[in-house]
Amino acid sequence: MQIDNDVIYDADNRLTTDIYYPTTNATRGVVIMIHGGGWLRGDKSKDVDLGKKWASNGYLTFIPNYRLAPVAYYPAPLEDMDTLYAWIKNSNYQFDRTHIAVCGSSVGGNMAAEMAIKYGIPAISWSGVFDIDQWIEQHEQVVGKLERTIREDSGQDDSFYKGFIMNYFNGQTDQLVEATPTHRINEKTGPMFLANSLDEFIPNSGVLKMSAKLAENQIVHTVRFVEGTQHAKGYVDEVFDESVLFLSKWF
């Protein structure tokens, strides 16, 4: 499989992407694969396996790095995806410019949904962070932290969830409403595949609110709840084929 590593897509911010070329004869389209990490850690190298998976299914796959806290806060990572999207569309890579999709795990799922809202492209989210403003308001008493507490009885961890969200906003609350994607879903939003574990630290309330808003706007979408406590890539083997099938409906 051909892979180009560390291709610069934003020289000003020194941001790079890895590119995985399809192993099939025909390119079905592009998948932008956005890594997770709470907007404070993570790297494109953690998703090499997913780059190979998407490429083996016929997709030219871009796995980018983006700015993280404390170097940059909201909305910098979303702006980086805008830059990447424009860079891909204006590039010399050979593919149908109407066949661009985005997939993301954890906070990458949030960013994938944001791109679906902004550009009308299909999005796949595994454990996307969607319940932001209302959840923070309802959990004022929770003390946030930036490390997970591993429990044997449950995957839930409200302190960690609050911690990395508030860190994304540098501790401020004035942008929580505008950063909650459910408020901006409209009839031009792209189709979405939304997955979550039933007992993980990303609240299922976010997926349910997204689904309700998508249905209200007549947007085709799939909701997939997975048994257990696994988060994002922890259950990807259970949902990857379904994700490919969902995307194949569009190109």
Work out the average pLDDT over 66-85: 98
Domain boundaries, the chain: 3-248
Q: According to the model, what pLDDT value does residue 125 have?
A: 98
Coil, strand, or helix at residue 67?
coil
* HEC assignment per residue over 195-223: EEECCCCCCHHHHHHHHHHHHHCCCCEEE
Task: Say if residues 66 and 38 touch (Cβ distance below 8 Å).
Answer: no
Cα–Cα distance, 123 to 190 (Å, whole number): 7
114 vs 148, residue with greater confidence = 114
pLDDT value, residue 25: 82
As a whole number, mean pLDDT of residues 39-68 equals 98
Distance between CA atoms of residues 90 and 97, nearest Å: 9
Is pLDDT at 217 greater than 80 in this prediction?
yes
pLDDT given for residue 151 in this prediction: 85
pLDDT band at 1 (very low <50, low <70, confident <90, very high): very high
For 8, the token pair is: 């610069």
Percent over 90 (pLDDT), the chain: 96
| pLDDT digit string, tens, across residues 138-185 | 999 999 999 998 887 899 999 999 999 999 999 999 999 999 999 999
Are 199 and 229 a contacting pair, CB within 8 Å?
Answer: yes
**Helix H or strand E segment including 195:** strand 192-197
Choose among 124, 47, 57, 112: nearest CA to 85: 112
Q: In what order do the strands lie in the sheet with 221-226?
A: 3-10, 15-20, 59-64, 29-34, 100-105, 123-126, 192-197, 221-226
Helix (H, G, I), strand (E, B) or coil at 179: coil
What percentage of the chain carries pLDDT values higher than 70?
100
Kindly report whether the global pTM for this prediction surpasses the value 0.75. Answer: yes
- Helix H segments across 66-170? 76-89, 107-119, 133-138, 158-168
Helix (H, G, I), strand (E, B) or coil at 124: strand
CATH class of 3-248: alpha beta
Q: Rounded mean pLDDT of the chain?
A: 97
- pLDDT at position 26, please? 84
